[in-house]
Chain A
Amino acid sequence: MSNKIISIVGDLGELTPQNLSANLSARFDTLIVAGQHALHKQADYSCVNNAEQLDKLMRERAEKTTIIAPRNQYAKYVFYNKIECLPLFEDLDPYNFDPLDCSQQILALATACWIGSPVVALFDFMLEPKKETPALKAILKIYPNTVFLFVRLKKGNKITVFNDVTNLKQMDETEFSAFYNQHIKKK
C-alpha cells in the first residue's frame, strides 16, 4: 500500500466520477471513500457501517475495492473476497469511539488515521455543527502530528470553524495539486 498521501472522500456528494478531474484522480495515492460514495469503484477502500449499503456494495463492488465493515456486519460476508473487518481503533478507545454510531466519512477518516500517513487529505467532506464537525475536530486533535488537508473543488472562503485547529490546512483543488507535487518531491 502506498502511504504517500491518504485521501478520504466524505459524504457531501459533490465529487462524482463526472467532475473528478484527471489531475486530481492521478493524485489519489490511497483512496478511502465513505460507503457508497459515487467514487467507490475507484477507491482502494470503502468504509461502511450501514447494513443495507454493505449488501449493495458487496453486489456492486469493483475488483480494486476492498470493503471495510464493522465486525458484526462483516460476519455475514466472512467467506467472501475483498472485504475486511474494521481494525480495532486503539487510539480512539479512550474517546468511546463507536464504529456503528458514527458517519461513514468519520469511519473512513478513523481508518486513514489507523493506517497512518503524515498527510491525510479530506475531499467532499460534509460539515454539520451538531455531530460531524465536532467529531472531525476531535480526531484532528487526537493526531496532532498528522497534517490534514481540507480540500474543496473550488476556491471559497476559509471555514472559520477550523481556526483553532493547527494541523489542518484548507485549500482548493489547484492548491492541493501544488501541495502534492511539492510533498512528493520532498520524499
Chain B
Amino acid sequence: MKQNFQLFIINILKRNKMEKLKYYIMIEWPATCRNRSERTLKARPDLVHKINEFTARVIDICKKYKKPIQIDQNYNMIGIKTWWAEGEELYHFLMTQDENNLQVIPELGVMNHLSERLVMFKFQVIGPKDKKDSILVY
C-alpha cells in the first residue's frame, strides 16, 4: 500500500528553485475516485492505480511551468492540493483545465505575504483564455 502512494511523497517539484508559494488550489480527483477513504482504497487497488496515474499526469502538466509548484504529499478525499508561486502561471493552468481534462475546485487561497495568512476567494472562468481578465475572483 505504501508503495502505491509513493507518488505523493516524492512530488515536490523544482525544490532547488523554491520561492515563496502564494496561491493554493485543489484539483479534484477523477469522479470515480472522489470521497474514498483510505480504508476503501486499501480494498480497491484499481482506484489507487487511477489516483496514481492521475497524480502523475498532474505532475507532468505542472512540470511545464517555470516557477515552483508544490503538490501536497498528504492524501485527502477531495483531490490534490497544489501551491503555486506565480499568478500568471496559475492563471494559465486554470484557463487550460478543460483541455487538460482537469477540474479545479473554484476556490483560490492566496497567501498574504504581509500578514502571512491565507485569504480565500472564489473564482469563475468567464471568458476566453487569451484574455487577461477571464477569471472573475470574488
Contacts and interface: CB of A to CB of B under 8 A. Distances in A.
Interface residues of B, number: 18
B26 interface: no
Interface string B79-116: 00000001110110000000000000000101011110
A182 interface: no
Nearest to B114: A84
A78 B113 contact: no
B119 interface: yes
A85 B88 CA distance: 17
B110 to A, nearest CB: 6
B110 A78 contact: yes
Interface in A31-77: 66, 68, 71-72, 75-76
Contacts of B119: 71, 85
A5 B91 CA distance: 37
Contacts of B112: 84-85, 87
17 contacts: A68-B114, A75-B121, A75-B137, A78-B108, A78-B110, A78-B137, A79-B88, A79-B90, A79-B91, A81-B86, A81-B87, A84-B112, A84-B114, A85-B119, A87-B112, A87-B115, A88-B117
5 closest residue pairs by CB, A with B:
A79-B87, A87-B115, A75-B137, A79-B91, A78-B137
A-side interface mostly:
mixed
A95 interface: no
Contacts of A76: 133, 137
B115 to A, nearest CB: 4
Contacts of B117: 87-88
B33 interface: no
A66 B112 CA distance: 12
Contacts of B138: 72, 75
Tell me which of A78, A81, A85, A88 has the highest count of chain B C-beta atoms within 10 A of its own C-beta: A78
Given A76-B137, A84-B113, A85-B119, 15 more contacts: A66-B114, A68-B114, A75-B137, A75-B138, A78-B87, A78-B110, A78-B137, A79-B87, A79-B135, A84-B112, A84-B114, A85-B112, A87-B112, A87-B114, A115-B114
